[in-house]
Structure 1
Amino acid sequence: MATIFLRRIDQARNMARFYELDVQQGLFGDVSVTRHWGRIGTNGQSKQHWLSSDAAAAEFAGKLKLQKERRGYSSPLPA
């Protein structure tokens, strides 16, 4: 699964945030879902979740993406 980049910009509320999801294979057959989020222009925060299979990781990442899209995040426009 590719890295998913989302952002939410609302100038009226002085809000400029990013959210990134990355799924990577581990060394021992497990799968890592890394979340990275924060205000655009900062280092932000990160959290890793280790899951036992690709299917579980894809489902978990999909749920997180759907949550963020419901809160107003969207994919940035291509340059």
Structure 2
Amino acid sequence: MDHDETGPVHLRRIDPSRNMRRFYMLAIQPTLFGGASVIRNWGRIGTNGRSMMETFDSDDDAASASARLERAKRRKGYRDSARPE
């Protein structure tokens, strides 16, 4: 793939005053037909959470979608996780 990201991105947002402990994971995987998929997994830390897969025709489209999602989550207060949740 032609994007900078080499592996999944694991983010988390913890705010004890709001009883908030959330995780968000983004990964890009190739499809069987030459495209790429952005896999998202999110939820409360300690649960399996929810998942969504979005498929794109090219690796570049998937990489830009993933970067856009990551920027949006970071603006909302998500930070790098020390380990995958």
Q: Which runs of 4+ in 1 moved over 4 A?
A: none
Q: C-alpha distance in 1, partners of 2:77/2:9?
A: 15
Q: TM-score, normalised by structure 1?
A: 0.95
Q: TM-score, normalised by structure 2?
A: 0.88
Aligned to 1:64: 69
Aligned to 2:52: 47
Return the offset for 1:77: 3.5
Q: C-alpha distance in 2, partners of 1:23/1:53?
A: 11
Matched, 1:29 2:34: yes
Listed as ranges, the gaps of 5+ residues in structure 1 are none
SS of the equivalent of 1:47 reads strand
Listed as ranges, the gaps of 5+ residues in structure 2 are 1-5
Q: C-alpha distance in 1, partners of 2:62/2:51?
A: 17
Aligned pairs, number: 78
Residue by residue over 1:51-73, the C-alpha shift from the partner in whole angstroms, topping out at 9 and shown as x without a partner, is 01111001000000000000000
